[in-house]
Copies of this chain bind each other. A is one copy, B any other.
Amino acid sequence: MWSVDPRDGERREQVTVEATAADVDAAVRAAHATRQALADRGTRVALLRAAADALEADGERIIATADAETALGVPRLTGELARTTGQLRAFADEVADGGYLDVIIDHADTSLAPPRPDLRRYKIPLGVAAVYGASNFPLAFSTPGGDTASALAAGCPVVVKAHPDHPATSELTGAALRRAAASVGLAEDVVAVVHGFEAGIELIRHPLVAAAGFTGSIRGGRALFDAAASRPTPIPFYGELGSLNPVVVTEAAARERAAEIGGGLAGSMTLGAGQFCTKPGLVLVPAGDGGDTLVDALAKKVGEAAPGVLLDSRMREAFLAGARARAELPGVETPVTAGEGEANTVAAGFLTVAAEQLAAEGVHDLLLEECFGPVTVVVRYADTEQVTAVLSRLPGNLTATLHLSQEEGDGDGGQGARLVAALTPLAGRVLVNGWPTGVAVTHAQHHGGPYPATTSTSTSVGTTAIERWLRPVVYQDTPNALLPEELRDDNPLGLPRRVDGRREG
């Protein structure tokens, strides 16, 4: 595996080699052997905090390496490292809190017919987790990212299949995680990193792999999903595959703050050279003056945007071809044309099309597919029926955004509420008067949505992401002395729980 600088496409360094089937098997078996040691919650809290510390300690080198492999820039990667370490610490807090164990206790009731036994449920880790790193967040959604952090938090050892766009970053961050494990007395093998396309296939098929997390393309993600589902023993595959992230701007909103919305959209769609899963890719803008002003503001800002370097040459070619194919569709205009820039960069752009073109199946359906990179599609609509018609044709999304006027936001007239209700079935996150790029790591966050946004109903961001790596087990009529501490009547660990229907803690 070579480190390639996307700024010039040159191979800089041979980092490592592709893992063989035997390498993958050895990594999974070694990870599997650490499960017992990982079972202790206190140790995992320490591991997650030590991992954050280790990444910070090596931060300068990690950021420089990631920048050389991704061209995302030092400021962005500095922020991303902070997000990554913050995420690890948030999961440490969540493990310490223990609410994720979902302890439920029902005491025996012999007065019932049939008598009810004593039942005590909590959640246990699934086993070795396979994590497929994403290209566009070499830290926060890659080797030390949310999938790894949440799986470790749950008590699952992790084998990462590194993204080929940043092998050196993967090795460096993987080494930091392994050092952190050693520093808290765990085997380093609680985390392993393997490289290579074939290794990724071996990993999803390995009998000791119990679940997988993935962020990437629909094509790659679906292939792995299919492989996970067709195993002799199928395993859960938590894939985040792709999203158009529709935005609806109401006529009143466009009238009220066209320039602000146009400028905001330009910022969101060009952020990180448009390489965000949550890039707004389809924007419904009213016909007429307000909408025209919005499009003008968008054109001005997008035209001023600095050209960006995409993550690799394959993505660059796909972006250029995708933008060109969309621009060539009948009736599509390009106020600012996305295309080749100087010195391996690409220039941001956007397309406009009338809503009628998208109302029924046809060649314009290409505009309903995600185009990764700094381009978006502005759909001009004449009335709310056209908005409804276009929305009804969308696949599942991570996000759906609404721009409302002050009055609509206040709930007068019901238009805002109607639109919130119309967007809810389309996505896992619904935003009002904001932009979908930037996904806060919090308790309430949900980063997932109807297929193909994700292949499951779970989230890959936020603390509930831990739920993916657990399964419940219930103990029936088990003597107190034999119960896990988490389930004992006196609640020695002070866990939040539900006892005979009542919530405690």
Judge if A22 is at the interface, Cβ distance under 8 Å. no
Judge if A332 is at the interface, Cβ distance under 8 Å. no
**Stretch of A64-72, A139-147, A443-451 with 4 or more beta carbons under 8 angstroms from chain B:** A443-451
**Stretch of A5-13, A174-182, A250-258, A429-437 with 4 or more beta carbons under 8 angstroms from chain B:** A429-437
The contact of A429 among B116, B431, B476, by CB within 8 Å, is B476
A464 CA / B483 CA spacing, docked (Å): 21
Give per-residue flags for A204-243: 1 if the beta carbon is below 8 A from chain B beta carbons, else 0.
0000000000000000000001100110011010000000
Give per-residue flags for A110-129: 1 if the beta carbon is below 8 A from chain B beta carbons, else 0.
00001011011100101000
CB atoms of A443 and B229 under 8 A apart: no
Give per-residue flags for A374-418: 1 if the beta carbon is below 8 A from chain B beta carbons, else 0.
000000000000000000000110000000100001110000110
CB atoms of A117 and B482 under 8 A apart: no
CB atoms of A445 and B121 under 8 A apart: yes
A265 CA / B416 CA spacing, docked (Å): 62
Interface size class of A (residues with CB under 8 A): 35 or more
| Chain B residues near A503 (CB-CB < 8 A) | 99, 496, 503, 505
Q: What would be 16 A-B contacts, judged by CB atoms less than 8 Å apart? A: A106-B440, A106-B445, A119-B440, A119-B444, A124-B424, A229-B229, A234-B451, A410-B479, A430-B473, A430-B475, A431-B475, A432-B478, A443-B498, A450-B471, A457-B471, A459-B472
**Further 18 A-B residue pairs, CB within 8 A, beyond A429-B474, A446-B473:** A104-B444, A106-B440, A106-B442, A117-B434, A119-B444, A119-B445, A121-B444, A124-B424, A229-B234, A236-B456, A416-B481, A420-B475, A429-B475, A432-B475, A432-B477, A432-B479, A434-B477, A443-B500
